[in-house]
Amino acid sequence: MSGKRGWEPVHLPEGVAPPAGAYTPVARAGNLLFVSGQVPKDADGRVVGEDVAAQTKYVIEKLGGLLEAAGSSLEQVVAVTAYLADIGEWGAFNEAYKVSFTGPYPTRTTVGAGLHGVLVEISAIAVAGEY
C-alpha cells in the first residue's frame, strides 16, 4: 500500500470549533462529503436550545454551514443519521427536521443513543458541489 488515503479533510472556516476528539469534522472522498456527527453546541461549547426541536434546528443549521464551507448545501444531502437521547422525542425531531429539509428527503436512520448533555446529534453524507 502506498499509504495515501482516498479522501481528504475539508478545511473549515474560522469560527468553527475544532473537534473535541480524534476525528475529522468533514471529509471529501471523490464527489462525496462525509460530515461527522454534529451536536447543538456553539463554538464556545455552550448547548443551544432547550428542547429537541430547537436543538435539531440548530444542528441542521450548523450542518448546512459546514456543507457550504465545503462547497455544497443541505439540498445535496443524500443520507442522514440522527441520534436522539430519547427516541420518544421522534415526533418533535421529525417536525423540526421537515422544516429544514425539503422533499424528496434524504435517506435517514434515526436511533436512540446515550448522548452526553445534548438531545440530538446528526451526521450526513452529501454530494460535493453541483450534481
pLDDT at residue 3, as a whole number = 65
Per-residue pLDDT at 131 exceeds 80: no
pLDDT at residue 112, as a whole number = 96
Determine the average pLDDT of the residues in 10-17. Answer: 80
pTM: 0.92
Cell of 56: 435539531
Burial label for 70, CB within 10 Å (0-12, 13-18, 19+), is buried
- 53/59 Cα distance (integer angstroms): 10
Tens-digit pLDDT profile for residues 22-67: 999 999 999 999 999 999 999 888 999 999 999 999 999 999 999 9
Cell of 88: 420518544
- With cut-offs at 50, 70 and 90, classify the pLDDT of residue 124: very high
Q: Which residue matches cell numbers 480524534?
A: 22
pLDDT at residue 16, as a whole number = 78
Q: What are the DSSP E strand ranges found in 32-115?
A: 32-38, 77-84, 107-112
Tens-digit pLDDT profile for residues 80-123: 999 999 999 999 999 999 999 989 999 999 999 999 999 999 99
Angle at 119 between CA 26 and CA 90, to 5 degrees: 100
- With cut-offs at 50, 70 and 90, classify the pLDDT of residue 18: confident
Q: Which CATH architecture has domain 23-127?
A: 2-Layer Sandwich (3.30)
